[in-house]
Structures are given as C-alpha cells and as structure tokens.
Amino acid sequence: MGEFDFSVWQPSLPFIRDGLLFTLRLTLVAMSGGIVIGTLLALARLSPIVPLARVAGAYVDLMRSIPLVLVILWFFLVIPFITGSPVGAETSAIITFTAFEAAFYCEIMRSGIQSVPRGQVNAAFALGLGQAQTMIHVILPQAVRNMLPVLLTQTIVLFQDTSLVYAIGAKDMLKAADVVGKNYNRPVEMIVLSALIYFTICFSLSLAVKQLQKRVAIIR
C-alpha cells in the first residue's frame, strides 16, 4: 500500500463533525437517562421488597451479560413490535443506550450507596428524617460524590461504545469516517484519523475527571 495520503482528512471534516455531534448527543442523552434510571434501579436492587430487588437484579445481570452490539440489534428489531410502528435508527440507538447503560450506572450507584457508612443512615434516622429524606439529602449526595470518577469513566466507555451503532446503520463519527474512507478508498487514513479523535477526546475527558476528582472529593 506504500505511503499514506492524509489529504483525505480535509474533505471528510464536515461529515466527521456531523457524526461527532450525533455521537455526543447520544452520549449525553444516554448518560443522563442512564444515571437517572440506573439510580432508580440501584434503589430497587437495594430495596427490602424482594421481588422488586430480584427483577431489577435480573435486568441488570442480563444487560451486563450480552454484548452491546446484540442488544442494539435486538432493540432495533423488537421496539417496532412494542410500539406498533418503526422508530428510526437514531431513536432506537438512544433508547438502547439509555436502557443498556442504566444497568452499568446502576451497579456504580449501588456500590456508591453501599460505600456510605451505615452510621450515616443511623444519624439521619436519629434526627427524625424519613427514608426518602435520608436517601435524598444524606446518602445520594455522598454516593454521587464518591462515585463521580467512576461514573465519568463509565461515560468515557459509553462514548467509545457509541461506535457500535454501525450495527443498525445510524451515523456516528466512526461510521462517517468509514464512509469517507470507502468513498475515497482511503480507509486506513480514516481509521488513523478516528483513532486520533477518539484518543484526544477520551484522554482530555479522563484528565478532566482527575481534576474534578480532586475538586469534589469530600474532605474526610
């Protein structure tokens, strides 16, 4: 194949940008949705109501045991039967990622909640706070702070995983790069470009996480 020809990078930029926007949107929506649903799932898993805990546990274990590509494919094929009408690839991707990542955020939040010393619960109860008040004012804020780095690390993983939407033909950044690579028959150059972009973004994010960790860590 000989020498590389990086001139293909220039015309690819608009598509890369569009793909990146989709990737970011998907990441953000799935992250916020995933954290909210994940937290609820975590509460369900820790709740004393056994059936509820079981169901949530089964959901989480199932999601954690299947490759994401297959989950994406399944949702894409199955959602039309639930909703009665087909949804676009992008909507399907957003729903899938939220549902899938919720399982992972659930595990993180669960260990976050468990990392709060039992004495804190006792102290809150002893002050007369109710279950829900204790959860909202005392436990969750500490759990989130303790787990913030892990939550963000998971989000970086999520950001990388969005590349798997190729399975249902949604156009994320990697896909855009891929198509340009094929059009100009410069696939290798485009792979190198996407590797660079992913690395830059993920690396800056992980640096940011480290900074944040110092900032918000609870002084003990």
Q: What residues numbered 71-90 form the site for another protein, per CB under 8 A?
A: 73-74, 76-77, 80-81, 85-89
Footprint on residues 156-175 left by another protein (CB under 8 A): 156, 160-161, 163-164, 166-171, 174
Interaction of residue 51 with another protein, rule CB under 8 A: no
Q: Which residue has the tokens 């994401």?
A: 68
- Shortest distance (Å) from residue 168 CB to another protein: 7
- Shortest distance (Å) from residue 1 CB to another protein: 5
Indicate the residue among 35 and 201 with the shorter CB distance to another protein. Answer: 201
Interaction of residue 138 with another protein, rule CB under 8 A: yes
Indicate the residue among 109 and 124 with the shorter CB distance to another protein. Answer: 124
**107: closest CA among 174, 172, 44?**
44
Indicate the residue among 66 and 212 with the shorter CB distance to another protein. Answer: 66
Interaction of residue 21 with another protein, rule CB under 8 A: no
Q: Which residues have a Cβ under 8 Å from the Cβ of 107 and sit 6 or more positions away?
A: 38, 42, 60, 64
129: left (phi over 0), alpha (psi -120 to 50) or beta: beta
**Rounded to an integer, what distance in angstroms lies between the CA atom of residue 184 and that of residue 100?**
35
**CB atoms < 10 A from the CB of 213, how many?**
14
Q: Which residue has the tokens 């900032």?
A: 215
